[in-house]
Amino acid sequence: MNNGIKILAIESSCDETAASVIINSKIASNIVATQDIHEQYGGVVPELASRQHQINIVPVVERALKEAGVSKNDLDAIACTQGPGLLGGLLVGVSFAKSLAQGLDLPLIGVHHMHAHILAHFIDDPQPQFPFLCLTVSGGHTQIVLVEDYLKMKVIGQTIDDAVGEAFDKSAKILGLPYPGGPLIDKYAKEGNPDFLKFADVEMANFDYSFSGIKTSILYTLRKEVAKDPDYVENNLSDICASIQKTLIDILIKKLIKASKSLGVNRVAIAGGVSANSGLRNKLSQLSEKLGWEVFIPAFQYCTDNAGMIAMAAHFKYLEKDFSDLSLRPDPRMPF
């Protein structure tokens, strides 16, 4: 049996029930049960999500332990996502982690979901040196974060309304695509012309973002075209998706370049579900050559919600003895 520090981590903040075991700083298992039930509703239904978490959590945890070859009696700590996220889902993960920690008499570690997305960069090599900038893009967040150390990071810019993942998903909904539409826009965009349509973009001050205007611009542009030709979306789907994707990526990148220049930081990372987007990944690779950036993109499985990233964050907190007690409560709007 491996003698390292062994932590079991649980993630349940949205519609993925996930568990992972980390041994020292290496992920030994990473199990994710995705809830397909939400697809038919066009978005995550919180009540259904928490019921699915209740059903999934025991088998997911058992599989994570089995794949890692670790018995629960060998564990050194239990970690869970404390927030931000949907209260019902967080309650399932936090209650389960608390009971396990109490039953096994182990320390409990509460993890911030967005910190964990960023710390996913330390799962595999190459790992960024400090300081670096991280564009954190998910269904609930769009932030530019200055990361100064494993547990020292600050938001320097963020969206004032919708997250970019939401903009992807809402645009997909307008096009009649199922939830979550982000990956589908990415798929169709690969064959389309990104300059087919132009959408109005509102430039925000400093390093902040706004995506609600762009969603409206997409809606009105398409309504106008569909009034002339009812098959417009169907006949031009790839070109429309490529144009939407280009618009959203250009907005993201513009502020990232501004932040990199003004802070003099050339190490740039992406994190969160939207960092799975192939257009964004390609754009960053191009920029690494053009601007001399050192770019860090996590492995695909650590971009969207997973417990490996929660385990990685918990590992760093364990080293600092940054433990929670059994009064830990889920925090849907947990501050960064």
Interface contacts to ligand KG4, rule CB under 6 A: 14, 138-140, 165, 168-169, 180, 182-183, 186, 272-274, 276-277, 304-305
- Compare residues 162 and 305 and give the one whose CB is closer to Zn ion: 305
SS3 110: strand
Long-range residue pairs from 284-288, CB within 8 A, at least 24 positions apart, any chain: 284/253, 287/253, 287/257
Token pair belonging to 119: 């710390």
Burial 210-246 (b: 16+ CB within 10 A, else e): bbebbbebbeebbeeeeeeeeebbeebbbbbbbbbbb
Residue 169 touches which of ligand KG4, Zn ion, none (CB < 5 to 8 A by kind)?
A: ligand KG4
Residue 15 touches which of Zn ion, ligand KG4, none (CB < 5 to 8 A by kind)?
A: none
- Taking the complex as a whole, the smallest distance from the CB of residue 12 to ligand KG4 amounts, in Å, to 11
State residue 47 phi and psi, 5-degree precision: -65, -40
Instruction: Say whether residue 82 binds Zn ion (CB under 5 A).
Output: no
CA 246 – CA 244 distance, rounded (Å): 6
Residue 140 touches which of Zn ion, ligand KG4, none (CB < 5 to 8 A by kind)?
A: ligand KG4
Instruction: Say whether residue 305 binds Zn ion (CB under 5 A).
Output: yes
Residue 274 touches which of Zn ion, ligand KG4, none (CB < 5 to 8 A by kind)?
A: ligand KG4
Instruction: Say whether residue 35 binds Zn ion (CB under 5 A).
Output: no
- Compare residues 107 and 110 and give the one whose CB is closer to ligand KG4: 110
- Compare residues 22 and 274 and give the one whose CB is closer to ligand KG4: 274
Which helix (H) or strand (E) segment holds residue 93: the answer is: helix 87-104
- Compare residues 188 and 318 and give the one whose CB is closer to ligand KG4: 188
Where do we find the tokens 């290496």? Answer: 26
Letters for 135-174 (x = contact with Zn ion by CB under 5 A, - = none) are ---x------------------------------------
Name, in order, each residue with C-beta under 8 angstroms of 10's C-beta and a sequence gap of 6 or more: 18, 19, 57, 61, 78, 79, 80, 81, 93, 96, 97, 307, 310
Instruction: Say whether residue 186 binds Zn ion (CB under 5 A).
Output: no
Name which of 201, 81, 210 is nearest 142 in CA terms: 210
- Taking the complex as a whole, the smallest distance from the CB of residue 301 to ligand KG4 amounts, in Å, to 11
Eight-state DSSP code of residue 61: H
Only one of the segments 130-138, 201-209, 247-255, 256-264 lies at the binding site for Zn ion (rule: CB under 5 A); that segment is: 130-138
The crossing angle, in degrees rounded to 10, of helices 212-228 and 237-263 is 160
Residue 183 touches which of ligand KG4, Zn ion, none (CB < 5 to 8 A by kind)?
A: ligand KG4
User: For binding to Zn ion (CB under 5 A), which residues are involved?
Assistant: 138, 305
